[in-house]
Amino acid sequence: MKLFEFEGHKLLQKAGIESPFFVVCENLADIKKARLKLKFPVVAKVQVLSGKRGKNGGIVIISREAQLLEFAKEHLGKEFPAEGGEKVKYIVVASKVDLEKEYYVSITYDTISRMPFMLFSEAGGVEIEEMVHKGEEVVRVGIDPTIGPKKADFRKISLPFDFVEKLWLAFSSSDARLVEINPLAKTKDGKLVAIDAKVILDDNGLLRHTDLEVLPKGAASSEPTERELQAHKIDETDYRGSAGSAFIEFPGDIAILASGGGASLLIMDAIAAAGGAPANYTEYSGNPSREKVEKLTKITLSKDGLAGCLVCGAFANFTDIFETLSGFADAILKMKTKVKYPIVIRRGGPKQEQAYEMLRKLAKKEGFDIHLYGPDTPMSVAAHRVVELSEQYKRSMEK
């Protein structure tokens, strides 16, 4: 989960890292109240999850109230960047810091060594890629997660070691994937102040951090859809397998219930290659219960305007296919007045034959248009088939 800048600042502040005084504003009334708490000049910043705010005019130094109101009217409720961007729900108005020097500092993970490390540069204020391109020195120091940073390892980093420890605390205590401060400012009186804060949390660790004050985020934007919120709650109180933790809603008309991370992505590509448009991306994995799959199916198929459904995954070694497809069957039986479109199922694994026999009987009794394929059928063929059937269904609905 990527955090808004102001959320990142709050996380840093908990670890003892100072930020400029700021006010989060949602409307013009908030902007006017913020003006009373700050002295000009101030820094106004749009709050979006995408980057490059400065280059696109989303971070501006402002010296007059009229200019501040104009900035707010230009951005609040509008897309940033202007076309195809993210809707701006918040603007931060912050004190302008008189700085003497800017640094870049971050902690993230090396996915190869599976160890966290810190990056540091004396040339803050620009993207890390630009620093490397310009030949600026970027110091990298690995951190043993079992003991934390060791002072002897950080001699090349010209920051007080207590600041390194604070940044490590912010990173490790929140199950973060990235904590980046760019720039980190050194003020004229020697203070270190985080001017910007970029934080990405590990979604799998969120259940351990109910104390963190973070807003729910959508997969494709800052505002989650109702279905995304509902799906993400499924795993909160049930540890049996995974169902709904990954749920992204799209504008297409083919519902997807996939299994297996790599297979799930292959399925999405195969739908697109066949000319179809997915209505969502979601998956269930491990060995989720019948009840969890039923909940996920209901949420997935609750979208209006669907023209097909694909239940597909790689061959499972440990997933009980009868248990999971029973959950799917429970859901469509309760939604049978809505589920009139074709359903393609391609699964393989323990109790697959029992599951398919159960689905054949259900389809015959209740009139569902279910097409069953085993693991000998490529997933790409199953994806092509559901697109083909959905097109036939849409043509029949036009008559």
Predicted local distance difference test score (pLDDT) of residue 210: 64
- Print burial letters for 345-380: b (CB count within 10 Å at least 16), e (below 16): bbbbbbbbeebbeebeebbeeeebebebbeeeeebb
Helix (H) or strand (E) holding 353: helix 352-366
Question: d(Cα 107, Cα 168) in Å, to the nearest integer?
Answer: 7
Of 287, 297, 171, 305, nearest to 230 by C-alpha is 297
Distances in whole angstroms, Cα of residue 270 to Cα of each of 113, 135, 315: 32, 42, 17
For residue 243, list its beta bridge partners: 284
On whether the CB atoms of residues 199 and 178 are closer than 8 A, the answer is yes
Question: d(Cα 294, Cα 193) in Å, to the nearest integer?
Answer: 49
- Rg from Cα positions in the chain: 25
On whether the CB atoms of residues 138 and 128 are closer than 8 A, the answer is yes
On whether the CB atoms of residues 351 and 321 are closer than 8 A, the answer is yes
Write down all domains in the chain, each with its CATH number in brackets: 21-95 (3.30.1490.20), 99-208 (3.30.470.20), 226-398 (3.40.50.261)
Output DSSP code: residue 135.
T
**Pure H helices in the chain:** 5-14, 28-37, 65-75, 128-133, 161-172, 226-233, 261-273, 290-301, 321-334, 352-366, 379-398
Roughly what angle, to the nearest 10 degrees, separates helices 321-334 and 352-366?
20
Enter the tokens of residue 397. 């609905």
Question: d(Cα 350, Cα 353) in Å, to the nearest integer?
Answer: 8
Task: Return averaged pLDDT per consecutive 10 residues of the chain, 399 residues in all.
Answer: 93 96 96 94 94 89 96 95 85 95 95 92 84 84 96 95 97 94 94 96 70 64 79 84 88 93 86 95 91 97 97 90 97 96 96 97 97 95 97 92
Helix (H) or strand (E) holding 34: helix 28-37
Question: d(Cα 380, Cα 271) in Å, to the nearest integer?
Answer: 8
Question: d(Cα 157, Cα 168) in Å, to the nearest integer?
Answer: 14
Enter the tokens of residue 288. 């989720």
Q: How far is it between the farthest Cα atoms of the chain?
A: 79
